[in-house]
Structure 1
Amino acid sequence: MGKTGVGGLLERGSPEEEAGISKDEVFDLMSNHRRRYAIHHCKQVDGPVSLSDLAEQVAAWEKDKEISELRSAERKTVYTSLQQTHLPRLDRVGIVTYENGEVELTDQIERLDIYLDVVPENSIPWGVYYLGLSLLSSLVIVGLWAGVLPTEAIPTLVYPTIIIAAFAVSATYHTLTNRRYRFENLDEPL
């Protein structure tokens, strides 16, 4: 669902509306660990996966065991739950196709990737980091305008070059860190 505009009309063109999934529905879908685990495994496999293989991996993650250590009952419980509840729901909203015991992610998963990024606990938010870098850069520029920073020993263009380099290095690090912490790149799902 899109946002409600004046007179209760639905605003067209929001990414969630185009995907046919509201933000609330995305969070509801992702609130269940079995659905997250299933999506995580499908992203790691990058192609169709059999329901039995998917159920084994999800059960192994749930029980914190190797697949070979799982009991039949543990596999069956997860298999039945995925088959009857979770995969049909993901299929209805277009996240996966689930046919003939095969599960595969659809292109709609790309629209959910923004909600699947993982931020490490001990890191500062990138927005705060870039705000601080921007404030520091502004202070340097103000210092140059006010004549507080030396420009005789250091050429004036060195300052903006350092600022641009700081942003470039930060953005590169940010991009690489985000790739490392992508949902599908983690060994085990959250």
Structure 2
Amino acid sequence: MASVQQFDEEKSEPAGEVSEDELFDVLANQRRRFAVHLLKREDQDTLRIGDMAEQIAAWENGIETTEITGPERKRVYTALQQSHLPKMDDAGVVEFNKDRGIIEPTSALQDVDLYMDIVEGREIPWSTYYLGLSGVALALAGAVWLDAWPFVLLPNMAWMTAIVVAFTFSAITHKYYTAKMKVGEPDEPPGLT
């Protein structure tokens, strides 16, 4: 009896920090990413599993929620109830009350944005891009400093301005790209746009 009470007390404590491994495991599945997006997008303290299943089914099928069939909704609902939401609850990202069908985001859900640097197709991560850009800028500054040809054809200030413009343009592009990929924005979740 004491062990059951101890388990209940542990379960009722607020979720602590979620480890990176747990968070990456949650984000490894598209349906869970859709659930995270929906929870961050909604301006509510709780969300019903039926509403979540309906919206995720619509996103997965590329249709409006009014066009979803019963089997499409049920397939998503069942997977959410039996697998995805319990996994998210175990990780501490949400609190899932299976009996009531209610999902409540935890404070750990706010940390998800830090891990959503999604790289699709043949793209490179931004960190690698900036490292390469820094290498090019360093080589350019070195060539200008050594008065290497053809870098002597333009004044030093022109080359330094070119480096600043390259970093500024990259930063603006990066800001635009990450804003488009932000989880919880009013539009469709990342991966569908």
Deviation digits for residues 1-23 of structure 1 (CA, Å, limit 9, x no counterpart)? xxxxxxxxxxxxxxxxx724351
Query: Could you tell me which residue of structure 1 aligns to residue 7 of structure 2?
Result: none
Aligned letter for 1:175? K
C-alpha contact (below 8 Å) 1:117/1:183 kept by paired residues: no
1:54 Cα deviation from its structure 2 partner:
0.7
C-alpha contact (below 8 Å) 1:38/1:54 kept by paired residues: yes
Q: 1:102 to 1:111 in 2, by over 3 A?
A: same
Long gaps (5+) in structure 2: 1-15
1:188 Cα deviation from its structure 2 partner:
4.3
Query: Could you tell me which residue of structure 1 aligns to residue 108 of structure 2?
Result: 108
Query: Could you tell me which residue of structure 2 aligns to residue 180 of structure 1?
Result: 180
Query: Could you tell me which residue of structure 2 aligns to residue 51 of structure 1?
Result: 49
1:189 Cα deviation from its structure 2 partner:
5.2
1:95 Cα deviation from its structure 2 partner:
0.6
1:53 Cα deviation from its structure 2 partner:
0.9
- Which runs of structure 2 are paired with 1:28-47 in the superposition (5 Å)? 28-47=25-44
C-alpha contact (below 8 Å) 1:117/1:182 kept by paired residues: no
Structure 1 Cα separation of the partners of residues 60 and 128 of structure 2: 35
Aligned letter for 2:152? P
Deviation digits for residues 136-181 of structure 1 (CA, Å, limit 9, x no counterpart)? 3223322232223338x73x33432332232122122212212212
Describe the SS at the equivalent of 1:98: strand
Long gaps (5+) in structure 1: 1-17
Q: 1:173 to 1:52 in 2, by over 3 A?
A: same
Aligned length: 170
Structure 2 Cα separation of the partners of residues 91 and 54 of structure 1: 15
Query: Could you tell me which residue of structure 2 aligns to residue 137 of structure 1?
Result: 137
Greater relative contact order structure (CA < 8 Å, 6+ sep): 2
